[in-house]
């Protein structure tokens, strides 16, 4: 069965299942989910624990199968954890995981916990993952996106008896907090805990949060697309500055911006040729959050505007590779800032 992460605590309070699978890339949330399962297991008498990390194509699965099938000499129940960092168990691993899943219901003395990264749709449709899902509980650990982060921070503050001030000041405080910790949920968690140490329960002012919270944001170059397509120029500028400080390659940042421009131009050209927007998006492999952004901005963008953006992207490609262009900054990051702001204005 699939279980939303938000329902895990309520599920564990009703009783344990012998098999759990956690899959996702949000390390903090995955760790908290695993800790909750372990705590419930220990309370139910699972006092022994072994851990196996699958590394390489020649991993010996026999040790994992033996651990799951054996009983401890000193305890009635045990926890067996299987970590597959790559998300690809291989042929032998696929067979072993299916065997473990199918035998889980008849092995009440063992609780098996499988740790996986974020999986693509094809992997989730594989026989081994289907077996884990059908014979146990699969919990998908979704990333906390930027738009969800202020509410997540507010919920975490509430857990420790704290809250921001109501109204506009509170919203400004949460947005400021989110800007400081974006892309670094573990650091966000630590900053929230710091506030519990610095201030008593109750209301927090903007000044208290501003003084306490460090700038620990980490930016993913592929999230830059989300900011520019939303027309959010301040966030795009902040992300570019952060990527520069983190030593990201200029050519990779340019590729991200240029690929959005090229994709917008291809879809616009298809629409101008008479293709309906949903068909044009599908033909150009645009889906998910990017699809929704394209649906919002394409009706307001014409071919001439996109041609200008495409020309600008071509010029910036030369700049980040060391060429000078008339009327453009010679510095690659300044040129990328200008290109990003042009795209923000077009999409906004």
Which of 141, 159, 179 lies at the terminal end of a domain, its last residue?
141
What's the domain count of the chain? 3
Q: Give the model's pLDDT for residue 325.
A: 92
What is the four-CA torsion angle of 201, 207, 208, 212, rounded to 10 degrees? Answer: 150
* Contact indicator for 226, 281 with CB cutoff of 8 Å: no
* Contact indicator for 239, 206 with CB cutoff of 8 Å: no
pTM of full prediction above 0.75: no
Which residue bears the tokens 């600008």? Answer: 312
Average pLDDT over residues 112-119: 94
Reported as a single tens digit per residue, the pLDDT across 263-314 is 999 999 999 999 999 999 999 888 878 898 999 999 989 999 999 999 999 9
Residues 193, 86 share a domain: no
Average pLDDT over residues 69-90: 79
Residues 316, 248 share a domain: yes
Reported as a single tens digit per residue, the pLDDT across 239-252 is 999 899 889 899 99
Q: Give the model's pLDDT for residue 298.
A: 93
User: Residue 72 above 70 pLDDT?
Assistant: no
Reported as a single tens digit per residue, the pLDDT across 14-36 is 999 999 999 999 999 999 999 99
**Range with lowest mean pLDDT among 59-63, 116-120, 161-165:** 59-63
Helix, strand, coil in percent for the chain, rounding step 5: 60, 10, 30
Residues 208, 188 share a domain: yes
Which of 141, 168, 189 lies at the terminal end of a domain, its last residue?
141
Rounded distance, CA 120 to CA 41, Å?
A: 29
User: Residue 262 above 60 pLDDT?
Assistant: yes
CA angle 104, 74, 81 (to 5 degrees): 40
Task: Count the alpha carbons within 13 Å of 83 in the hemisphere toward its beta carbon.
Answer: 10
Q: Can you give the length of the chain in residues?
A: 348
Q: Give the model's pLDDT for residue 69.
A: 65
Task: Give the CATH number, domain containing residue 301.
Answer: 1.20.272.10
User: Residue 129 above 90 pLDDT?
Assistant: yes
Residues 98, 119 share a domain: yes
Residues 178, 59 share a domain: no
Q: Give the model's pLDDT for residue 127.
A: 93
* Beta strands per DSSP E along 13-70: 19-24, 46-53
Q: Which two tokens stand for residue 58?
A: 């020649």
Rounded distance, CA 141 to CA 159, Å?
A: 20
Residues 180, 228 share a domain: no
- N-to-C CA span, the chain: 42
**Which residues are bridge partners to 19 per DSSP?**
112
User: Residue 107 above 90 pLDDT?
Assistant: no
Rounded distance, CA 184 to CA 178, Å?
A: 10
Residues 160, 97 share a domain: no
Which of 186, 212, 238 lies at the terminal end of a domain, its last residue?
212
What is the four-CA torsion angle of 247, 248, 253, 256, rounded to 10 degrees? Answer: -160
12 vs 18, 36, 113, CA distance in Å? 12, 8, 14
**Which residues are bridge partners to 115 per DSSP?**
22, 83
Q: Dihedral of CA 179/181/183/189: which sign? A: negative
What range does the domain containing 338 cover?
221-347
User: Residue 9 above 80 pLDDT?
Assistant: yes
User: Residue 6 above 60 pLDDT?
Assistant: yes
Q: Give the model's pLDDT for residue 192.
A: 95
* Contact indicator for 1, 133 with CB cutoff of 8 Å: yes
User: Residue 75 above 70 pLDDT?
Assistant: no
Q: Quote the crossing angle between the two packed helices 167-181 and 149-159, to the nearest 10°.
A: 100
User: Residue 74 above 70 pLDDT?
Assistant: no
Average pLDDT over residues 172-182: 92
Pairing of strands 46-53, 77-83: parallel
Q: Give the model's pLDDT for residue 261.
A: 96
């Amino acid at each position: 069965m699939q279980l939303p992460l938000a329902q895990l605590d309520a599920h564990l309070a009703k009783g344990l299942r012998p098999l759990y699978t956690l899959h996702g890339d949000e390390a903090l949330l995955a760790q908290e989910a695993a800790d909750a399962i372990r705590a419930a297991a220990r309370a139910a008498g699972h006092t022994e624990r072994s851990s196996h990390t699958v590394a390489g194509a020649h991993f010996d699965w026999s040790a994992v199968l033996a651990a799951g099938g054996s009983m401890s000499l000193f305890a009635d129940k045990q926890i067996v954890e299987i970590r597959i960092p790559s998300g690809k168990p291989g042929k032998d691993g696929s067979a072993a995981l299916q065997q473990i899943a199918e035998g889980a219901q008849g092995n009440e003395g063992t609780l098996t916990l499988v740790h996986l990264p974020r999986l693509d749709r094809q992997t989730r449709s594989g026989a081994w993952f289907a077996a884990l899902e059908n014979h146990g509980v699969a919990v998908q650990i979704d990333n906390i996106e930027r738009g969800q982060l202020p509410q997540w921070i507010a919920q975490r503050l509430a857990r420790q008896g704290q809250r921001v001030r109501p109204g506009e000041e509170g919203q400004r405080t949460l947005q400021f907090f989110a800007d400081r910790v974006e892309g670094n949920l573990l650091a966000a968690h630590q900053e929230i805990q710091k506030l519990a140490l610095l201030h008593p329960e109750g209301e927090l002012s903007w000044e208290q949060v501003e003084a306490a919270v460090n700038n620990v944001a980490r930016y993913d170059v592929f999230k830059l697309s989300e900011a520019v397509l939303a027309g959010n120029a301040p966030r795009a500028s902040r992300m570019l500055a952060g990527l520069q400080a983190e030593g990201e390659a200029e050519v990779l940042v340019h590729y991200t911006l240029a690929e959005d421009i090229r994709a917008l131009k291809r879809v616009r050209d298809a629409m101008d040729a008479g293709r309906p927007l949903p068909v044009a998006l599908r033909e150009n492999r645009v889906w998910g959050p990017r699809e929704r952004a394209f649906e919002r901005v394409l009706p307001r963008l014409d071919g001439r505007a996109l041609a200008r953006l495409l020309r600008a992207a071509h010029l910036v490609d030369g700049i980040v590779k060391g060429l000078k262009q008339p009327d453009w900054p010679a510095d690659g990051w300044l040129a990328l800032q200008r290109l990003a702001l042009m795209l923000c204005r077009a999409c906004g």
